[in-house]
Chain A
Amino acid sequence: MRSPVRLERRLEQPRWLNWSIPVISLVTALVLGAIVLWITGKNPLEVYDRILERGFLGKRPIQGTLITATPFAFTGLCAAVAFRMGVINIGGEGQFYVGAIGAAWVGIAMTGQPVGVAVVGMVVMGMLFGAAYGSIVGVLKARFNTNEIITSLMLNYIAGILLNYLIFNSRSYWRDPRSMGFPSGKPITERNEWTDYVVGGVKIPLGFLIAVIAAGAIWVLYKRTRFGFEVGVIADSPRAARYAGIRTRSTIVLVMALSGALAGLGGASDVGDFRHILDAKGLQLGGFGYTGIVVAALARFNPFSTLLVAFLLGGLTNAGYALQGPDFPSGLVGTLQGLILFTAVAGEILVRYRIRANRRRTQAVAS
């Protein structure tokens, strides 16, 4: 018995696949999501209509969507940068927390400096902390060939415990000494709070603009520099890279540091733009790092597409927050995100293969 279709490897990958496959993936995910909703007794059209309304239509929804999209953009870039070298960093979550710790420290400590200096200080410290945390994974992988997926994931849990320690279980610098009943973070100096920029009546957080700049910088780094070329070679064949004299080990560490720095920058923006404190609970509920993987996969690891996809998933999440209630249970947004990731992953098959119908073969060779 033969299957009616067969897969045929593509010899070349046409450019139109780069946008058509994510679109197909997204549509398929929405169809699958509709099936899940329908099975569980909801009206899928109604749910999608409300997501569209609360996430994307109008100035206020867009403003909210930009806020939820900003952390996704950073964690998406974090994942994309590492995935491009074939290193699977799922530690964006932990690197994001650690970046927030670093930025909150500067934000609290700087009181008299000009606003610009404080903002730069927070950005730099967030990146440094994230980079340091990310490079732990890189060093272990480069030096001992340790599986980066598991180490980066374990470091996420450890960073979460560190957050709990700093805010709930100790009298640390980050904890507000006035919060006795329910411990919370110490607010950063008020003038250090990042400003929004208003474009066309929509407030754009500074963090989102930084993410756009970062995406451009990554594009240049990966497309136009020797370093980016070497990363590409390592991704294709680590062995070939070694024979070509590329320092694979230090490149792995550098890329992991860069990846961690991007997530840490997201943490800095979380403190500077939005919460203005080190919010141990809120950070852990966000799950930004994991969503970042979905974002990067759907964007096919392209930095600019990452921004676009972050905006789309930001809208979905934003609508999820706004609609949460008895007829919009929690977990729904996560489920939809997971479905999108599935279809994005499955869509890869269309990049590599053509699906051909199997015709019955005639006995031509049997002469």
Chain B
Amino acid sequence: MNTNLLVVIAASAVFYGTPLFFAALGGVITERSGVLNLGVEGTMLIGAVTGAWASQHVGGSAWFTVLISILMGMAAGALTSLLHAFLCITLRTNQTVAGLAITIAAGGVGLSSYFANIWEVAANPVNRPIRKLDVFGLADAPVLGPIVFNQTILTYVSWVMVAVASWYLFRTKIGLQLRAVGESPQTADAMGINVVKYRYLHTVLGGSLAGLGGVFYSLAIVPLWVDGMTKGAGWIAIALVIFGFWRPGLTLVGAYLFGALQSLGTALKARNVNISGDVLDALPFVMTIVVLVLISSRFAHRRLGAPASLGVPYEREER
């Protein structure tokens, strides 16, 4: 029963969707503060290479190594997005171009590849990959076993995160103030909210989540460092933020949908289904465009929660 095609696809949808979710949740949090970060792809790669390096060099028990790798990947992602925050918030540059700069500088042929080269990350496999767990010994249970009880620890963390992030954004005072900053920084400023501080903190928080998504690639999916290994996942994550209407729960649904599309190729090939691998490879990208077109009318944007000041630098002097 667990070899049923639908079960296999659902299980790997959750697996492949997890890093997409982390990156997209980071995007939700960043964009709620009014900062658009197009550097997600580059940030993920920096997280991935740092995580892989840590896994090769940090000693100790398996759990300790994995934990340190994850934390270092997140810290690297946070640092990368700190640069973005500095450019966008302090220097008030065009956020689109600044984000692109991050992706180009850190991306597949940039800094992440340079680090991989000089740290000799690519030459060796990672020591301690993040393995799938067998929760309560239920991994072999019919249907739900592989989908729910046989995932990596990070997937379970992501489920907790959905709840925490929704509560944080919509049920706490800080969350309310954060949304105010994203909607109308002038008003928020007049209320005494420190716009700059909120934007910095949440951009960096979002970057650390992108780094976490990157670590998932180099330690769980591949698990090995390959130049440009995220293969556009960061960009899909940016589209997922829109697809999820800037809400954590819907973003998770979207992430699993795209996770399913990504895993379709492997799942079908294993069964000798005769369909071109190229068509399946292109599917997530085509679907991203289709989804964007469907939800990108101006009406949809306004109704569905795009922060009104997204991408607009805040200049106090010009109030």
Contacts and interface: CB of A to CB of B under 8 A. Distances in A.
Contacts of A16: none
B297 A145 contact: yes
Contact of A334 (B96, B111, B293, B297): B111
A304 to B, nearest CB: 21
Interface in A289-326: 290-291, 293-294, 297
A342 B285 CA distance: 28
Contacts of B232: 153-154, 157
Contacts of B38: 149
A116 interface: no
A120 interface: no
B158 interface: no
Contacts of B292: 146-147, 150-151
A349 B91 contact: yes
Contact of B105 (A144, A145, A338): A338
Contacts of B227: 330-331
A152 B98 CA distance: 18
Interface residues of A, number: 48
B91 A334 contact: no
Given A149-B96, A164-B278, A334-B113, A346 B87 contact: yes
B139 to A, nearest CB: 34
Contacts of A334: 104-105, 107-111, 113-114
A317 to B, nearest CB: 10
B285 A338 contact: no
Contact of A150 (B109, B115, B118, B288): B288
Contact of B297 (A144, A165, A339): A144
Interface string B53-95: 0000000000000000000000000000001000100011110
B94 A345 contact: yes
B288 A154 contact: yes
A9 B313 CA distance: 14
Contacts of A337: 104-105, 110
A144 B242 CA distance: 15
A291 B109 CA distance: 11
Given A334-B105, A345-B98, A158 B286 contact: yes
B134 interface: no
Dominant secondary structure at the A interface? helix
Contacts of B107: 290, 334, 338
A346 B94 CA distance: 9
B114 A331 contact: yes
A74 to B, nearest CB: 18
Interface string B307-319: 0000000000110
A90 B41 CA distance: 14
Given A9-B318, A151-B292, A332 B97 contact: no
Q: Determine which residue in A150, A290, A348 has the highest number of CB atoms from chain B within 10 A of its CB, and name it.
A: A150
B285 A154 contact: yes
Interface string B275-308: 0111001100110110011001110000000000
A144 B293 contact: yes
Q: Determine which residue in A164, A342, A352 has the highest number of CB atoms from chain B within 10 A of its CB, and name it.
A: A342
Contact of B104 (A169, A294, A348): A294
Interface string A142-185: 00111101110111011001101100010000000000000000
Given A335-B114, A337-B104, 11 more contacts: A140-B289, A153-B232, A154-B232, A154-B285, A157-B232, A158-B285, A331-B111, A334-B113, A338-B107, A342-B98, A342-B101
Q: Which 9 A-B pairs have the closest CB atoms?
A: A338-B105, A331-B113, A331-B114, A334-B110, A329-B117, A334-B109, A341-B101, A154-B285, A165-B278
9 contacts: A9-B317, A41-B118, A145-B297, A147-B296, A297-B97, A329-B118, A331-B109, A338-B111, A346-B91
